Amino acid sequence: MDDLSKKKYDFLLYLLEEGDAMVCIDARLPEVDVPASHKNNSSLNLIFNLNFRRPLEITEEGIFASLAFNGRPYKCAIPFEAVWAIYDPKMKNGQVWEESIPEDMNLADQVQLDQPEKPLLKPLKSSGKPAKEPANEPAKDTKTKGKRDRSHLRVIK
């Protein structure tokens, strides 16, 4: 095992001791075995956890696991040569190996390393009071106040 693969192996085990680990790989490498629909992906992100119900084996050569793709299991083989980043998806703690990043991939499109992540939506603070109806909308009919529109449900016998 070369030094770079050893670092990836050690870091993956470290994160898995805490919980989830997101592994970013170049699935185009011939040694990588993933479903054909993902084989052309230079930045395939896969989540691993030691509590998986399906088999998971991490060796010094790579990661061997049965993963679900569109609800169907697939036995994947991912050598550490294909791994270019590993991080904790909850804590954003991770490691990127620049020498392993595919040359044709623009990392700025994938990960914003220099800037903290900005939320897309701002959380709303609630006062605990129900919201007032907008002035431009008519008042709701009080007869239907307790009823919900269930037109999207149907009875199955």
The answer to the question of residue 154 being in a domain is: no
Q: What is the 3-state secondary structure (H, E, C) of 80-137?
A: HHHEEEEEECCCCEEEECHHHCCCCCCHHHHCCCCCCCCCCCCCCCCCCCCCCCCCCC
pLDDT tens-digit profile of 70-129? Answer: 989 999 999 999 999 999 988 778 999 998 888 887 655 544 443 444 333 333 333 344
The answer to the question of residue 30 being in a domain is: yes
Q: Higher pLDDT residue, 52 or 28? A: 28
In the chain, the number of structural domains is: 1
Q: What is the CATH number of the domain that holds 51?
A: 2.30.30.220
- Structural domain harbouring 104: 3-109
Q: pTM of the predicted model, to two decimals?
A: 0.65
The answer to the question of residue 150 being in a domain is: no
pLDDT tens-digit profile of 32-61? Answer: 999 999 999 999 999 999 988 888 999 999
Question: Residue 94's beta-bridge partner residues?
Answer: 87
The answer to the question of residue 29 being in a domain is: yes
The answer to the question of residue 47 being in a domain is: yes
The answer to the question of residue 102 being in a domain is: yes
